[in-house]
Structure 1
């Protein structure tokens, strides 16, 4: 039986060995790995629609259905490229014709590789987006669980890489999980932009046959159709949106990983990565390298790079069906999401296993000057000073302590009184007890109980609020994954029903 590949005047010389090696064979291999299942689902949905719309006859529909169901997909999945056909689409068409005869050619009535290809790309992308969201939700839960164990764990927060103010480890982790939540919501938005059907657009102008675009969309679990047929085969913003979100998500999470790596150093000594996630040195017996975090950082950079490649390949391309946004570009997008998803899973486990040196973090906070913002605030309250006056007084006191080599515990009531007298020219109202409380990191944290602050009560509230919001996203994630996983089962049930007369 002859090939169903497109006839060409140059058929005897197509393809050239170089073109096949560089373009066609890699594209074929990518397609059989990622696009074969979506291609078969599209074939089944299109066939069901053609029969329901009475565009093909009952006998044709049954014969094509038998061929589609009996196609050896696993053999195709392990097949190798042959120059006999141009791509996987024509290979599948060729195999269907062998099984069902010439009538299987009517499976291509009212469609094109253009609208098929975009639908398949979107089906692969939506699955990778939904998987990434599910894994990101797992990481979010690990972060929340970790934070709930460290609501009272004092630590020093840094600005410009320098000690700033006391906070808690939970307060910091809540900031990370809030950022992750926004990334997950952006991924959900990208999913919504992706999960729209191009089928029925055909080459770019739809078809003269009375097809139902809505029916194929429904059968394939798309939420809607892309209304304009030219847009359906030309628009690549669904890919650009996903790539942009991946870049943001990778950058945001990478910043947190960088902090964790710093905190693992002996000099900082704040956290310890569990044994299953560290490696030893081949020469230095003492080494305990937290390489799981290093791999997470480098993989996130890789995800960002692949996503940036997607946007780069889209740049300055014509607004139309064109290969720049297809076979060559799509694998970068898939890989970026797969990498992001894998890092979400890895970090979920690493975070769950972390141990924290709470005593060291507390001691560091108690011996630092990170609390003196509260001392300045206290002087405003007790002495009636402007904050700028108070700031000047406390700044002078800190300089004196540093120059004399003393920690914050070396600050005396007499020191404060002398500074206030010198600058404000008035006796000190502040009591010794209030002074001790003003430089306490525990007090600093507890009185910062307004929304977004580090007080235990407020962090409890923030975690509860996160839980409620993320429960909704988790419910959406479960429903979405279930809906996507049932597509093939539903399509096969319809086609088998035809053949069984039910």
Structure 2
């Protein structure tokens, strides 16, 4: 809870004789948002104090007292006992003020050779690094749930669609593995963003570095960064790392929303391909028969919020001159909200992927509708009769037209009917005219044949097991 009591800010008040107005204090304070980075701020301060002692900038006794106080504050934060004050503006000044209460004068030495500018940039990178790792782990869990269902349904036939029109029969397992592949690219984007942001701004100070003989490599190593940032202006002012994470989050949310839309369609009575249990459905306040896929619909809506967060931050940083400007205080609200939204969406999609019950019979019936085996007929004409594909396409199209006139599927035509279009057709043409035969024939690498799907399932199982063990 934030303490709203107004007080003169003793941490930067030497230049000022009065207190800020109530409106100024309100617009300037960020503690309601950035207290979320308290643990990152404490970690950065512990590393900084350790380095200051190692370079003889402060005494080892002061460093020990600072560390003792910071560990106490960490415990208070974790226990929910830390009292936050809007008058102290932000997480950094709140923690420093509390540190002074605990250890006294030594607390004032902690801020030697650093600024809130490099401090907040360090905290933000640490927070986002952990957030990216969380998203990668959640995506792996989502993939595992999909792979399990793909293994169960490698041989289940469903209609594949283009333009949301029935196109060709595919394996349900193949369809689910499509979203596993998309999730892997999402993981890669978060991993790439995490690697790129993993540089330490600590020691860049306000904008120009510091005259103290600090060891930036030491603090970078202590905090798990790959290296210190090479340019102090860049260290305190750049936020492209946050934009990159939000871009990855936006793309991930879009991918999730596409599968969520399919769940919405599949669970409707018009499709009747799948159902969700009570755990993942809601009812209607007026229509007792309703079972609504609200979780999927909410995931479908998340890209609006997450992509909106990306646009918000783009507009915040657009046109900002070097180095730090207070505008950058507005960087964290959209990022925190977007990552919360994505985390929830990933958990919901993982839950629904494991919960779906598929109506295999309805799927197979639908897969055979709308002349979905027409391409197989054309392929037969190419393979067995030696016709060019364009000629075969025309022959198959003419036979489809004849079947439409007669109101039957292709397999419902007689051989004589087909030979009225192409005399060379033989009785064995009927072997290719079923949804299952069509699905099983697509044996090319990456194709939908169950044998290929099972190979991909095994490959993904091995990949995910290796990732979990490593």
Flag whether TM exceeds 0.5 (same fold). yes
Alignment partner, residue 172 of structure 2:
169
Alignment partner, residue 3 of structure 2:
none
Residue 202 of structure 1 and its aligned partner are, at CA, apart by 1.2
CA, structure 1 residues 271+69, in 2 after alignment: closer, same or farther (shift >3 Å)?
A: closer
Q: Does 1:456 align with 2:447?
A: no
For 1:11 and 1:77, how far apart are their aligned partners in 2? 32
Alignment partner, residue 17 of structure 1:
22
- Residues 77-106 of structure 1: per-residue CA shift (max 9 Å, x gap): 6524343x3433223223323333333221
For 2:250 and 2:68, how far apart are their aligned partners in 1? 44
CA, structure 1 residues 171+82, in 2 after alignment: closer, same or farther (shift >3 Å)?
A: closer
Matches within 5 A, 1:277-292: 277-292=280-295
Alignment partner, residue 336 of structure 2:
334
Q: Does 1:443 align with 2:437?
A: yes
Matches within 5 A, 1:299-310: 299-310=302-313
For 2:81 and 2:121, how far apart are their aligned partners in 1? 20
Residue 378 of structure 1 and its aligned partner are, at CA, apart by 0.6
For 1:10 and 1:209, how far apart are their aligned partners in 2? 27
CA RMSD of aligned residues (A): 2.1
Matches within 5 A, 1:141-160: 141-160=144-163
Which among 4, 27, 32 is matched to residue 29 of structure 1?
32
For 2:192 and 2:199, how far apart are their aligned partners in 1? 12
Matches within 5 A, 1:6-85: 6-7=12-13, 10-12=16-18, 14-24=19-29, 27-32=30-35, 34-71=36-73, 73-74=76-77, 78-83=82-87, 85=88
- Residues 192-226 of structure 1: per-residue CA shift (max 9 Å, x gap): 12222111111222222221111112222223222
May I ask how many residue pairs the two structures share in their alignment? 462
For 2:256 and 2:237, how far apart are their aligned partners in 1? 33
CA, structure 1 residues 19+346, in 2 after alignment: closer, same or farther (shift >3 Å)?
A: same
Alignment partner, residue 301 of structure 2:
298
Alignment partner, residue 274 of structure 2:
271
Matches within 5 A, 1:122-137: 122-137=125-140
Which among 254, 257, 281 is matched to residue 257 of structure 2?
254
Question: Quick check: 1:300–1:339 contact (8 Å CA) kept in 2?
Answer: no
CA, structure 1 residues 123+60, in 2 after alignment: closer, same or farther (shift >3 Å)?
A: same
Question: Quick check: 1:309–1:332 contact (8 Å CA) kept in 2?
Answer: yes
Alignment partner, residue 370 of structure 1:
372
For 1:217 and 1:205, how far apart are their aligned partners in 2? 18
Residue 333 of structure 1 and its aligned partner are, at CA, apart by 0.9
Matches within 5 A, 1:361-440: 361-420=363-422, 427-428=423-424, 430-432=425-427, 434-440=428-434
Question: Quick check: 1:132–1:338 contact (8 Å CA) kept in 2?
Answer: no
Q: TM-score, normalised by structure 2?
A: 0.93
Tell me, what secondary structure is at the counterpart of 2:125?
helix
Alignment partner, residue 215 of structure 1:
218
Tell me, what secondary structure is at the counterpart of 1:389?
helix
Residue 188 of structure 1 and its aligned partner are, at CA, apart by 1.1
CA, structure 1 residues 262+97, in 2 after alignment: closer, same or farther (shift >3 Å)?
A: same
Question: Quick check: 2:246–2:306 contact (8 Å CA) kept in 1?
Answer: no
Residue 3 of structure 1 and its aligned partner are, at CA, apart by 5.4
Q: Does 1:93 align with 2:88?
A: no
Alignment partner, residue 191 of structure 2:
188
For 2:159 and 2:414, how far apart are their aligned partners in 1? 23
For 2:57 and 2:440, how far apart are their aligned partners in 1? 72
Question: Quick check: 1:119–1:199 contact (8 Å CA) kept in 2?
Answer: yes
For 1:2 and 1:179, how far apart are their aligned partners in 2? 53
Which among 4, 10, 33 is matched to residue 4 of structure 1?
10
For 2:370 and 2:63, how far apart are their aligned partners in 1? 78
Tell me, what secondary structure is at the counterpart of 2:439?
helix
CA, structure 1 residues 411+328, in 2 after alignment: closer, same or farther (shift >3 Å)?
A: same
Alignment partner, residue 490 of structure 1:
none
Tell me, what secondary structure is at the counterpart of 2:419?
helix
- Residues 32-63 of structure 1: per-residue CA shift (max 9 Å, x gap): 2x121111111111111111122212333233
Tell me, what secondary structure is at the counterpart of 1:328?
helix
Residue 2 of structure 1 and its aligned partner are, at CA, apart by 8.6
CA, structure 1 residues 52+282, in 2 after alignment: closer, same or farther (shift >3 Å)?
A: same
Tell me, what secondary structure is at the counterpart of 1:167?
strand
Q: Does 1:225 align with 2:228?
A: yes
Q: Does 1:469 align with 2:463?
A: yes
Compare 344-353 and 306-315 and name the one that shifted more. 306-315
Residue 404 of structure 1 and its aligned partner are, at CA, apart by 2.7
5+ residue gaps in structure 1? Answer: 421-426, 477-502
Q: TM-score, normalised by structure 1?
A: 0.87
Matches within 5 A, 1:314-333: 314-325=317-328, 327-333=329-335
